[in-house]
Amino acid sequence: MEDADFPSGPWTGYYVYDLDGKRERMDLDLRFADGLVSGSGTDPVGFFLVRGRYDAKEAEVWWHKTYPGRHDVYYRGFREGRGIWGTWQIHEWWRGGFKIWPKGIGEGAVEKLEVEEPVEAHAAAPTRPGTHIEEGL
């Protein structure tokens, strides 16, 4: 069963590198159902797969973004307003922020990626016991 706060379909947005604050566009096709999120997408690094979980009651989502044959990126976010915002991390040393929203909502934000001020990325808070991405995947 789908949740209205986590609509399946095309999403768009950006991620930010902590080092320089530059926004990089990403386009995703996500499916949210029964607490699981899956899908695929593209960004400047290339094609990726998405696999993870969400908690509609807590408005939280966490997933792995996998570039086949390359590397994984761990994402943790919160559903708020028109989208999902949060942090991404590769191992312990690379991290930054992200924001995505259902395609068609906030499209002007993607067009202005190069014009706007950099977004400050905050470190992700620790997950509650039993909610880590590796558990149950």
For residue 4, the model assigns a pLDDT of 82
Does 77 map to a domain? yes
For residue 132, the model assigns a pLDDT of 44
For residue 21, the model assigns a pLDDT of 83
Of the candidates 5, 68, 117, the one whose C-alpha atom is nearest the C-alpha of residue 30 is 5
Domains contained in the chain, number: 1
Q: How far is residue 26's CA from residue 103's CA, in Å, rounded to a whole number? A: 11
Q: How far is residue 32's CA from residue 8's CA, in Å, rounded to a whole number? A: 5
Given a contact cutoff of 8 angstroms between Cβ atoms, the answer to whether 96 and 118 are in contact is no
For residue 1, the model assigns a pLDDT of 52
Q: What domain range is 27 assigned to?
A: 9-111
Does 56 map to a domain? yes
Does 74 map to a domain? yes
Instruction: Give the CATH number, domain containing residue 58.
Output: 2.40.128.120
Does 120 map to a domain? no
Supply the pTM of this predicted model: 0.75
Does 21 map to a domain? yes
Which regions in the chain score pLDDT beneath 50?
Answer: 109-137
Does 130 map to a domain? no
Q: How far is residue 37's CA from residue 53's CA, in Å, rounded to a whole number? A: 5
Given a contact cutoff of 8 angstroms between Cβ atoms, the answer to whether 95 and 87 are in contact is yes
For residue 35, the model assigns a pLDDT of 97
Does 19 map to a domain? yes
For residue 118, the model assigns a pLDDT of 47
Does 82 map to a domain? yes
For residue 122, the model assigns a pLDDT of 47
**DSSP letters for 34-84:** TTEEEEEEEETTEEEEEEEEEETTTTEEEEEEE-TTS-EEEEEEEEETTEE
Instruction: Pull the structure tokens for residue 81.
Output: 């307003």
Of the candidates 90, 76, 83, the one whose C-alpha atom is nearest the C-alpha of residue 11 is 83
